[in-house]
Amino acid sequence: MADAYEEIRTWDQFRLRQSIRNGDYTAHTAGLARGTLQTNVAIMSAEHALDFMRFCQRNPKPCPLVGVSDTGNPMMFTLGADIDIRRDIPAYNIYRNGILDAEQPDITDLWQDDFVAFALGCSFTFERALQAAAIPLWHIDNNTTVPMFRTNIETIAAGPFHGKTVVSLRMIDPSDVDRVVKISKNYPLAHGAPLHIGDPGQIGITDLSQPEWGDPVSIKGDKVPVFWACGVTPQVAIEAAKLPIFITHKPGHMLITDVHEQAEVPNHTTNPNQHGETS
């Protein structure tokens, strides 16, 4: 299995998505198709889509919108030449009235003519940049899921979408904090700069050893807790809205796009290095 995973890590996004579409690859996507933007996904009726876009616009750090489908069209044509949002994610969660109802490897049978699919940037992008800068990330080095916490920071509501901001935690060496801020700020489509640095109590977190999602970290020495806005925030807001049906990716099982992860604009037809990368 480890060998198979090593081989899959060498696949490009086209080969990987084909394998996902065929139903062969059904696991998480961390570390795969390096260099391409991976995204969270939320699918809902057009009736709620304007409010959800407002929610994303108003809360861009937890909800960096990188793509939206036309109503009823499952092809995410701005993110790739051949991305079918009904089939190209390794696993889907189906919610009914705000409650997780089922998990499926394909949602072709559930697709509706009034569905709109949203793709939101995720932390994989800035984590890769931090790793490239030799910043240790405990959860990756220890093969666990990043710890996530509900804060006391209200999102700005839009229609039925509302709730507290969820953050992810990374423990950073004090000497690296400035660099971590500077690097992650370069990725506004992947949560950008940290939302909070230091005292967890200031944002309503009482116990760092008890994350609400993900795994606790066990770190020795003098590290600083650094919190980033997290893609679980829109998930919680959609659950709170109790839509009759909405569909997301299964956590960690992301949409893999054709967009370069350093692209200034999340559009696969734009060459990210043509302009704006000269210095």
Contacts with a second copy, residue ranges (CB under 8 A): 46, 49-50, 53-54, 57-58, 60-61, 65, 67-68, 70-71, 78, 116, 156, 158-159, 177-179, 181-182, 185, 188, 192-197, 264-265, 267, 275-276, 278-279
Nearer to a second copy, 20 or 117 (CB): 117
In the bound complex, what is the minimum distance in angstroms from residue 60's beta carbon to a second copy? 6
In the bound complex, what is the minimum distance in angstroms from residue 189's beta carbon to a second copy? 9
Identify any residues that bridge with 264 across adjacent strands, giving them in sequence order.
none
CA dihedral (99, 104, 106, 109) positive or negative: negative
Name the DSSP letter for residue 89: S
In the bound complex, what is the minimum distance in angstroms from residue 9's beta carbon to a second copy? 31
Identify any residues that bridge with 169 across adjacent strands, giving them in sequence order.
227
- Residue 18 burial class via C-beta count within 10 angstroms: exposed 0-12, middle 13-18, buried 19 and up: middle
Identify any residues that bridge with 103 across adjacent strands, giving them in sequence order.
93
**DSSP 3-state assignment of 222?**
coil
- Residue 36 burial class via C-beta count within 10 angstroms: exposed 0-12, middle 13-18, buried 19 and up: buried
Query: Rg for the chain (alpha carbons), in Å?
Result: 18
Nearer to a second copy, 51 or 215 (CB): 51
In the bound complex, what is the minimum distance in angstroms from residue 185's beta carbon to a second copy? 5
Nearer to a second copy, 28 or 54 (CB): 54
In the bound complex, what is the minimum distance in angstroms from residue 187's beta carbon to a second copy? 11
Nearer to a second copy, 16 or 167 (CB): 167
Nearer to a second copy, 73 or 218 (CB): 73
Single-letter code of the amino acid located at 188: P
